[in-house]
Amino acid sequence: MDSLLIKGGVPLHGEVTISGAKNAVLPIMAATLLTSGKCVIRRVPDLSDVRFMAQILKSLGAEVKVDGDTVTVRAAKLNPIGDYDLIRKMRGSICILGPLLGRQRHAKVSLPGGCVIGTRPIDLHLKGMRDLGTKITIESGYIDAKAKRLIGADIFLGGRAGPTVLGTANVMMAAVLAEGVTTIESAACEPEVVDLAFFLSKMGAKIVGAGSPTITITGVKDLAGVEHEVIPDRIEAATFAIAAAATNGEITIHGARPDHMHAVLDKLKDAGVKIERKGLALIVKRGSRLKPIDVTTLPYSGFPTDVQAQMMVLMALTPGLGIITERIFESRFMHVSELARLGADVSIEGPSAIVKGGHPLSGAPVMASDLRASAALVIAGMAAKGTTQVSRIYHLDRGYEKIDQKLASLGARIQRVDQE
């Protein structure tokens, strides 16, 4: 099993290019199942989750070709039953449910897995499918969904922690081939949902309101194959921005979309990080003095939960008291105990982490619990004195394309090693 060996204390300097968004490409790959035509997807990151999705599409009968950052899919004939072992390993795999139902009126998929960051039920996905006229049973680890017809409906997708991103995507993909009009209320507004809607619209779907809490879909009879370029990964861009500030470096980030990052960039500026736009690039460096801030994670366009762990590292390096409140997932502070091994002073009070910052960090062996915790531990290791070894980096490979190589190009002393 691979781990990352990091010798800290080196500021990051140089230029980095952001890859395509993991959270956009997975549902877009699933959406190729809605048509028998050829779909070409560009700027696809080389991630284990993407490779898993390609295997899932193949197991359903689709032809999948990967050529660099371009993925071509042709799903001429489909098997409605997904591979149990493949699907259960990745939460994003649930987004094949909507396309299979939309095109074939039948889908049988295993309950999905993913990072251990708290309860992430799929009840809203299933509610949306039932509202469209689907009969669903769950047995032996499988979701078996069947519908003689899909009929447009008014569907409310608000949950306890706000709208569901994958649930919105799933219902939208089923509804594009339903009869009549579907209105999704309390829809997720994330850029990844908008990118999916754009992809579907290119295919011939009729979608209005993506990016707002109300999405209206008028069903069509069939969809065509298209070409599409995935949006850049706003979470990767935020991770590199925080890494630059945490290591007291200065980097230029190419390919990011600042309009997708308002909340993160605003909080970084509040924390004393200097951010300059230069053409299509972002230049990020630490200011003369970091300042502690309060951060609360919220649905888009609020501060993303996927950047919470990375921001905690920056607050641990900042003199003063910072407060980070998690409103999306109830168990997303599992990185706190590992950051403590490096010297971070963080205490948990209910949904909030109280960070007493300004203490120097020192290298130690740590273990990643999920994707974004992995990124946070890597940032902490680069900012710490001495050597840090981050284990279980298979989490990291799920969502960051060649992050060790990108960081090394910025001057980080980071090496991937085989940990037996």
| β partners of residue 251 | 14, 284
Q: Where are the alpha helices (DSSP H) in 299-365?
A: 308-316, 336-341
Burial letters 354-386, b for 16+ CB under 10 A, else e: ebbbeeebebbebbbbbbbbbbbbbbbbbbbee
| Tally of CB atoms within 10 A around 113 | 14
Gyration radius of the chain over CA positions: 21
- What tokens were used for 345? 């002073």
Burial of 238-256, coded b for 16+ CB within 10 Å and e otherwise, reads bbbbbbbbbbebbbbbebb
- Is 115 known to be catalytic? yes
Specify the length of the chain in residues. 420
Q: What is the C-alpha to C-alpha distance for residues 417 and 420, in angstroms, rounded to an integer?
A: 9
**For residue 229, what are the contacts with CB-CB under 8 A and spacing of at least 6?**
20, 41, 42, 43
Q: Are 33 and 104 in contact (CB under 8 A)?
A: no
Pick from 49, 117, 113: nearest CA to 369: 117
Query: 39, 95, 115, 189: which is the annotated catalytic residue?
Result: 115
- Give 160's strand partners: none
Residue listed under structure tokens 């035509």: 37
SS3 state at 6: strand
Q: Which residues contact 405 (CB under 8 A, 6 or more apart)?
A: none
Catalytic positions, please?
Answer: 115
